[in-house]
Every structure is written in C-alpha cells, then in structure tokens.
A and B are shown apart, each in its own frame.
Chain A
C-alpha cells in the first residue's frame, strides 16, 4: 500500500497520493467517452472500397441547422452523436409495447427501420422541421409534380436522405 509508506511527519503525502490516483482514474474514465464524443462512429459497412460507403463525419451535415439534431445525424450521417459522455447509469431504453410485426432499431446504419425512436410528430411540426415517421392517417398527394403527405392540417414533403426517408414539414401547397 502506497499510503502506509508515508511517515507520520508527512501526512500530506496521503491526500497527495489520493489526488494523483483519482486524477489518473478520471483520465482513464473520461478518455473513452471523450473519444466517443469527438468521433461519433459510422455504423457497419457493406463494402470494403471506401468510395462505396456513405461515411460522413459527425457534425459534418450541411443541410440545414435544424437537421443537425441527433436523430437526423444518427440516421443519415451514420453515427450516434453523443453530445455528452456516456455514463454507466444511463437509463435503459424505454420499454415499448410488444408488437410482433414492428421492429425496433432506433439508430441503425445502414438502413434504419422506420422512425420509431424519433417519434412521430405530435400535432403539426413547425414548417421547415424534419420528422422520420408520419403521424397516422396521412394521404399522399401529388401537386405540381411534387409528392406531399397531408396529415390533417399538416403537410410534409418526403425525401430520401441516403436510403432513409425523412419528411420535411412544409406550408400547405394549396
């Protein structure tokens, strides 16, 4: 034991040793989390040739500021951006009601499932915002060669973002 080697006249060495050890521990614990935060991943890849993959740096999304949300990045940029370090006591994923025909892959690249996790918009999303699954009871309508989804009073324009489908909330086109 390191502490026991200290002489009585040098009591200060014990807290010093403790401090030094804790700082080592702190570095040990925080470094991986920091690495994760800086470098948010990329998911599994189908190809060896890097020119065939869709790898994008986290935070490198240039579409619009409101597309930089974690959900969009998780689905399109391919990473799971971590805006805070992971903690061992992070809550588990909320338990979803069992549904035999619906799969649950909230952050999954390549090829996430429908946007379970993003949550369908409750009510109308603000114009210009993006969602990953539509509210129930939408009707697909083509106006001026553009496909829209009308969901009550809300209108959405679907796009492919990579192979995923994302819906941009738009003003009513008519």
Chain B
C-alpha cells in the first residue's frame, strides 16, 4: 500500500513526465526546429551518412552538366481541410528549362492551371482558364528570377531546385540527417532511395543508378505544418532536344487580360 506522501510524489512525478512529454513537441514547433536536429546534436554524432551527400553531389554534378532540363512529372499533393482531413490532389507538371535563363513550366491540374515562363528578361504567369496574365521584370538567371518570385510575390514554381543543384556549393548545408533507405524501382528503372531531414522539411529522392544519375522521384513532407502535408512527384525525363526561343515567351492571345502581382509581406526564413 502506498502512503499518502508516496502517492503525492507519484502523482507529481506522473504530472512532470506528462508535462515534459507534451511540452517537447510543442516547444520544438514553436522554436521552429525539427526534433531530429536536437536529437542528433545532443548525441554529438553525425546523422548524415557521407554516402548520402556523395549521392546528391553526383546527381547535382550530372544535372549541372545538362544544358537543358526536360521532363513531365506526375504529382500528388496533400491538401488539408480545416478539420485536418487530407485530400490527395493529382496534377501534371511539364517542365522545360534551358540554362541559364529560359524556363517554361506548365502546371496542369483539375482544380488549377498555371503556365510559368521566363525568357531571360521577363517572368510571366498565365492563368489560361481565368484568362489572365501578369509579368515581372526578371533580367537574370532563371534561378534568381524564381528566388525573387518566391520572396517578393509568394510564388513557388515546382522543381526550381533542379536549376540550382549542380550550380551552387551550399545546396545541402541544411541537411541534418541523411541515409539510404534502399534500392527501389521507379517506372522499371533501378534507383537508390535516399531520405533526408532539414529544418521544416523531410524529403526523399530516388536517384537513377548508372551513368545518368537523374532524380526519378522526389517527395517532401512539410514538418513545419502540424498536419505534415506531403508532395510527391515522379519524373519522366525526355531526351535532349533543342528548344526554340519562342517556347519561353507566352503566346499571349488577345483574350488574355493583364493583371498585377500583389506584393507579398517580407518572408521569415526558417
């Protein structure tokens, strides 16, 4: 039988355990830090397999050697309703980039259609269904144009990463964990499936084995969002082609009306 003071101590201990258990994820989110970061830091060991970074670097080197990037992607995005019910929203992205400053991305879904263009001087966003377009001056590389579009106008263009990987040294600096999940096949092709964690994002990539280490599947999970929505894309790469310049400027039909982008508030990183 427990005496009163023993029971009191037990209760206090229970409360303390419960509080610390509850407090941990909440404070981790408040401080914007993935719990995994803290764990590996506390253990004082590296959770990043050097082979995982090497695999990324090999892929990046190959991507960086490509003059043009062309693929169609089948995508799935999780949409979260107010009551946290998740919906799976399919889409298709048709992607064509010629480095350093040409891009055409068509985002085709049942709920939304958008065409993004960068021709080296302007960034254009077309909403064909609604009949609108808007332009930004963007006399820069496409990579810089997309950073500007995200920072100043809240526009996220899918697969912007592919223009940066292979052209920047610090693309992987935020990775806190990385490991090989295993060998997987994507559309019948052998791949290595790697998993990574960084601030606010868990992500996976399936890289083709062999002499063309292209990403064949990419997945992200936004861990900053309490409902952790996922985005998955399976990429079907096209053979090298010689794109024509006019492919990167929209054929603006007369029916299309010009509108403006609303400036977004300053972004807070992390």
Contacts and interface: CB of A to CB of B under 8 A. Distances in A.
B51 interface: no
10 contacts: A10-B4, A17-B11, A35-B226, A41-B222, A48-B203, A56-B267, A56-B268, A86-B83, A114-B112, A165-B259
Contact of B111 (A17, A45, A105): A105
Interface of B: 1-2, 4, 7, 10-11, 14-15, 18-19, 22-23, 25-26, 29-30, 77-85, 87, 89, 91, 107, 109-112, 114, 125, 127, 130-132, 134, 146-147, 150-151, 153-161, 164, 171, 174, 198-201, 203, 218, 220, 222, 224-227, 229-231, 233, 257-270
Nearest to B229: A44
A159 B259 contact: yes
A16 B14 CA distance: 14
A62 interface: yes
Interface string A31-58: 1101110110111111111111111110
Contacts of A82: 82
Contacts of A110: 77, 156
A153 interface: no
A118 B155 CA distance: 21
A20 interface: yes
Contacts of A50: 174, 199-201, 269-270
A32 B226 contact: yes
A21 to B, nearest CB: 8
Contacts, number: 242
Contacts of A109: 79
Contact of B15 (A24, A105, A160): A24
A106 B85 CA distance: 11
Contact of A93 (B23, B83, B233, B267): B83
B111 A165 contact: no
Candidate in B11, B151, B164 with the most chain A CB atoms within 10 angstroms: B11
A6 interface: yes
A13 B114 CA distance: 65
A23 B15 contact: yes
Nearest to A147: B257
Interface string A98-136: 000001011111111110000000000000000000000
Highest count of chain A CB atoms <10 Å: which of B151, B156, B270: B156
Contacts of B150: 51-54
A145 B68 CA distance: 36
Given A35-B26, A56-B154, A48 B131 contact: no
A47 to B, nearest CB: 5
A39 B155 contact: no
A108 B79 contact: yes
Contacts of A21: 11
B173 to A, nearest CB: 11
Contacts of A46: 156-160, 220, 231, 233
Nearest to B227: A41
B225 A41 contact: yes
B226 to A, nearest CB: 5
B14 A49 contact: no
A101 to B, nearest CB: 8
B230 A28 contact: no
A57 B224 CA distance: 10
A115 B112 CA distance: 11
Given A45-B201, A47-B161, A60-B268, A107 B220 contact: no
A27 interface: yes
Contact of B22 (A5, A27, A86, A106): A27
